[in-house]
């Protein structure tokens, strides 16, 4: 560089910078706003994953805690793995036995209401028990709960399917998502095959869905990642059911209601039990399951939307986690025995941190 020559650095005026920022925001808003408006309209019209139904769910702890005004940390911790494990441990105490009994009675009462609603809709009610977690290492009170639900179904003249029998002699480690307690595609295939052998005597009504009747907003397509090392695709059909099972075909119409075990997290649409059953048996197997749902949510859903599916049969899928959902809800909303709730809080607060 010649001595004395001044190096000139290009500068951007503040006005040019402002114009650049305005153009950048304009482009971003042009791309984002239509998507946001569409998503909000879908939420308002249908409620993705039926958010409106969970207001009635005894297992919707977040809303219940907010409704309580002030809640202690132990109550909020029921949503965490640590809190759940402590509550399960307390359930094995003397006070826990009374709590288990109260929770089972609450579940039985809600199940009876749901069965009544299903019958009123013209569908055949069926209760099915699906294993979750480590079924070859049973722990109290799952087996007692399953036995009581079976007895309740029998007393009401309702078929009870012990789908856990599909896994007799099978190691749970071979049937679960790695690092999780939900079922993998191979387990879903065993369930589908088991159900296929049970549906031959269900009468047909030859009806169709009268309106959007699934638990989710219709025509959704999104990837969901819940802390795993991969995302899984969740798409819904025009009726708001998870895709893969059919909803308005010409086959026997089966509406399956349940929680995450049936919904099938971490697996693809075509790998769910309902999707595999539809291919095996040429039926319309509608998946109306939502993660975190308990019996109160299922009852609220069926009253508001599920009956419009005009199903030939409604299969209420019960898991061991359903009982614990009732326990947590009764602690959170204050209907649990005071002694049991106090014992849980003491155990939580004295835990090793």
Q: Is residue 344 part of a domain?
A: no
What is the total count of domains within the chain? 2
**One domain for residues 293 and 179:** yes
- Higher-pLDDT residue of 77 and 261 is 261
Q: For 37-83, what is each residue's pLDDT tens digit?
A: 444 444 444 343 433 333 333 333 333 333 333 334 676 777 666 77
Q: What residues pair up with 338 in beta bridges, in sequence order?
A: none
Q: Is residue 240 part of a domain?
A: yes
| Predicted pLDDT of residue 305 | 92
Q: Is residue 67 part of a domain?
A: no
Q: Is residue 347 part of a domain?
A: no
| Mean pLDDT (the chain, rounded) | 77
- Higher-pLDDT residue of 139 and 303 is 303
What is the extent of the structural domain holding 229? 73-330
| Predicted pLDDT of residue 311 | 95
**One domain for residues 19 and 136:** no
Q: Is residue 54 part of a domain?
A: no
The Cα 215–Cα 247 span in angstroms is: 13
**One domain for residues 227 and 303:** yes
Q: For 139-153, what is each residue's pLDDT tens digit?
A: 556 778 889 999 999
**One domain for residues 37 and 97:** no
Q: Is residue 214 part of a domain?
A: yes
Question: Of 191, 202, 209, nearest to 278 (Cα)?
Answer: 191
Q: Is residue 337 part of a domain?
A: no
**One domain for residues 214 and 312:** yes
| Predicted pLDDT of residue 73 | 64
**One domain for residues 160 and 236:** yes
Residue 134 banded pLDDT, cuts 50, 70, 90: low
Question: Following DSSP, what letter does each residue of 84-117 receive, concatenated?
Answer: HHHHHHHHTSHHHHHHHHHHHHHHHHHHHHHHHH
Q: Is residue 226 part of a domain?
A: yes
Please count the CA atoms within 13 angstroms of the CA of 311 that sit on its side-chain side.
Answer: 31
**One domain for residues 184 and 222:** yes
**One domain for residues 21 and 119:** no
Q: For 199-216, what is each residue's pLDDT tens digit?
A: 999 999 888 887 889 988
pTM of the model: 0.76
């Amino acid at each position: 560089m010649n001595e004395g020559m001044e190096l000139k650095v290009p500068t951007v005026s503040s006005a040019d910078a402002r114009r650049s920022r305005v153009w950048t925001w304009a482009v971003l808003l042009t791309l984002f706003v239509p998507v946001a408006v569409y998503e909000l309209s879908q939420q308002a019209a249908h409620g993705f994953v039926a958010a409106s139904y969970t207001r009635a769910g005894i297992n919707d702890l977040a809303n219940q805690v907010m409704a309580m005004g002030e809640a202690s940390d132990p109550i909020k911790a029921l949503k965490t793995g640590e809190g759940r494990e402590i509550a399960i441990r307390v359930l094995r105490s003397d006070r826990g036995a009374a709590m288990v009994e109260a929770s089972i009675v609450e579940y039985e009462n809600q199940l009876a209401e749901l069965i009544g609603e299903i019958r009123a809709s013209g569908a055949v009610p069926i209760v099915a028990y699906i294993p979750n977690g480590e079924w070859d290492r049973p722990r109290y009170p799952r087996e007692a709960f399953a036995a009581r639900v079976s007895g309740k179904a029998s007393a009401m003249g309702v078929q009870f399917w012990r789908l856990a029998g599909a896994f007799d002699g099978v190691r749970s480690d071979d049937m679960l998502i790695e690092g999780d307690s939900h079922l993998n595609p191979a387990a879903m295939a065993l369930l589908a095959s088991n159900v296929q052998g049970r549906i031959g005597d269900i009468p047909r009504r030859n009806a169709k869905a009268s309106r959007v009747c699934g638990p989710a907003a219709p025509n959704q397509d999104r990837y969901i990642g819940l802390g795993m090392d991969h995302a899984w695709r969740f798409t819904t059909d025009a009726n708001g059911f998870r895709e893969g099972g059919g909803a308005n075909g010409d086959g026997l119409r089966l509406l399956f209601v349940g929680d995450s075990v049936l919904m099938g997290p971490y697996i693809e649409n075509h790998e769910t039990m309902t999707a595999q059953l539809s291919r095996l048996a040429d039926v319309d197997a509608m998946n109306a399951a939502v993660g975190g749902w308990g019996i109160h949510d299922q009852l609220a859903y069926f009253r508001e939307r599920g009956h419009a599916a005009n199903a030939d049969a409604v299969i209420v899928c019960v898991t061991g986690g359903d009982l614990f959902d009732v326990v947590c809800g009764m602690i959170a909303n204050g209907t649990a025995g005071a002694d049991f709730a106090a014992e849980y809080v003491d155990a939580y607060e004295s835990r090793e941190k």
